[in-house]
Amino acid sequence: MVRALVDCEIPVMGHLGLTPQSVNVMGGFKVQGRKADDALRLLEDAHRLQEAGCFALVLEGIPAELAARATEVLTIPTIGIGAGPACSGQVLVFHDVLGLTKGHRPKFVRAYADGFHVLHEALSRWAADVRKGAFPTAQESYRLPEGLSDAIASWTPATPT
């Protein structure tokens, strides 16, 4: 499939390891490639994806040593998410970076802000203003041009024919 897409001039970035879209098949959000056969299969799959024409490869939720080896042997860049520091680049979901989710965070997530509480407070204040009629105000509302108010006030629905 990758080769067919690339042949149609559609760029493809591969994705190996923990693939969230397949999490139910994998038995949950678990580190991948910890067994010898799984690790070797991942390296082989990485090579196949490169040969099929992927321009880069996301390595997610795999041991750092495995990601380092894949990065070493491939000629395309690797982008890590929970794959250690040796990848060509790193990615982290912005919800995680901003700390927008509450509860358990995977080991590889570092929140750089407490966005959940900031958003919760802001949305609570907004909802309270809406409930008490303090939002929106006239300053946050659009106005009709001069003279159009009378035309609107005298409008009646057309009768069906």
Are 33 and 19 spatial neighbours (Cβ–Cβ below 8 Å)? no
Cα–Cα distance between 27 and 19 in angstroms, integer?
11
- Out of 44, 51, 60, 140, which one is annotated catalytic? 60
Distance of CA 80 to the CA centre of its chain: 14
Residues 63, 68, 70, 71, CA torsion sign: positive
Percent of the chain with pLDDT over 70: 94
| pLDDT tens digits for range 51-110 | 999 999 999 999 999 999 999 999 999 999 999 999 999 999 999 999 998 888 888 999
- Per-residue pLDDT tens over the stretch 6-22: 999 999 999 999 887 76
Catalytic site residue 60? yes
- Mean pLDDT, all residues of the chain: 92
Of the chain, the percentage scoring pLDDT greater than 90 comes to 77
In terms of pLDDT, which residue wins out, 158 or 83?
Answer: 83
Asked if residues 11 and 52 have their Cβ atoms less than 8 Å apart, the reply is no
